[in-house]
Amino acid sequence: MIGQRDTVSGAHFAFTDRWSGVSAAPYEELNLGGAVGDDPEAVRTNRELAAKSLGLDPALVVWMNQVHGPDAAVVDAPWGEKPVPEVDAIVTVRRGLALAVLTADCTPVLLADPVAGVVAAAHAGRPGMVAGVVPAAVRAMMELGADPSRIVVRTGPAVCGRCYEVPEAMRAEVSALEPAAHAETSWGTPAVDVTAGVHAQLERLGVRDRAQSPVCTLESGDHFSYRRDRTTGRLAGYVWLD
């Protein structure tokens, strides 16, 4: 259910694993993604189960319509009847409102400035990392009073740089923009390390209080991996303030 969780000065960070939900194969068990072909009723139940295990009201969890883009949106209430915006980062100052990000190999990024009372969730795959979605989230937080020196970051389970094989030209293109993402697979071919790229971007912005999940989704049987399984579920990361 909840694979990793911690709290820093009233800011809560949590990442799910794939177990203790109700979805059938190939989404077993805790698929939290609504656009992957799973039974919508099962997804709704899973979202309720995950929220309850975190002590959250499922109605106060805000999801995104993720499109691998660079944009961030400020949110102060659940979307309700409004269309869910196509963004890959959301930011809030509303206490008790949980921000959620869906992934299966991409890097989920949770950010909080507990002093300013600002949190953000971002979805950074290779295109989003290159496009700067995480710096966009930090800038949006700063506009709401956050200071990079106080921002605490957790990056969650994601495909690691030793597993994320890409064509040589793609690695060259990505590393030209973010050298830290340059990687090689464990079998010696070109690769990209998206999480390393995200951490390098944060370091340059002065965000130093960071931690990275040791889990590689492709290597872990307890996590969903799009690259491994193609048709599969989605994990979620949640961030919120007391």
Segment contacting Zn ion by CB under 5 A, of 10-18, 70-78, 156-164, 220-228? 156-164
173 contributes a contact to Zn ion by CB under 5 A? no
Segment contacting Zn ion by CB under 5 A, of 54-62, 77-85, 150-158, 214-222? 214-222
* Of residues 26, 39, 144, 31, the one with CA closest to residue 89: 144
196 contributes a contact to Zn ion by CB under 5 A? no
Q: 10 Å Cβ neighbour count for 3?
A: 19
CB of 165 to Zn ion, least distance (A): 10
Region of 98 please: left (phi>0), alpha (psi -120 to 50) or beta: beta
104 contributes a contact to Zn ion by CB under 5 A? no
CB of 186 to Zn ion, least distance (A): 8
* Of residues 11, 13, 7, the one with CA closest to residue 156: 13
Helix axes 194-204, 133-143, angle to 10 degrees: 30
Query: How far is Cα 236 from Cα 50, in angstroms, rounded to an integer?
Result: 9
160 contributes a contact to Zn ion by CB under 5 A? yes
Helices (H), 54-160: 126-131, 133-143
If binding means CB under 5 A, how many residues of this protein chain bind Zn ion? 5
192 contributes a contact to Zn ion by CB under 5 A? no
191 contributes a contact to Zn ion by CB under 5 A? no
Segment contacting Zn ion by CB under 5 A, of 26-34, 91-99, 152-160, 177-185? 152-160
CB of 217 to Zn ion, least distance (A): 8
183 contributes a contact to Zn ion by CB under 5 A? no
CB of 220 to Zn ion, least distance (A): 8
Cα end-to-end span (Å), the chain: 21
Segment contacting Zn ion by CB under 5 A, of 33-41, 68-76, 163-171, 202-210? 163-171
CB of 224 to Zn ion, least distance (A): 14
Q: What stretch of H or E contains 121?
A: strand 118-124
216 contributes a contact to Zn ion by CB under 5 A? yes
Taking CB under 5 A as the criterion, which residues in 219-238 touch Zn ion? 219
Q: Which residue bears the tokens 């409004």?
A: 82
Q: 10 Å Cβ neighbour count for 228?
A: 17
Q: 10 Å Cβ neighbour count for 217?
A: 28
48 contributes a contact to Zn ion by CB under 5 A? no
Give the binding site for Zn ion (CB under 5 A). 160, 163, 216, 218-219
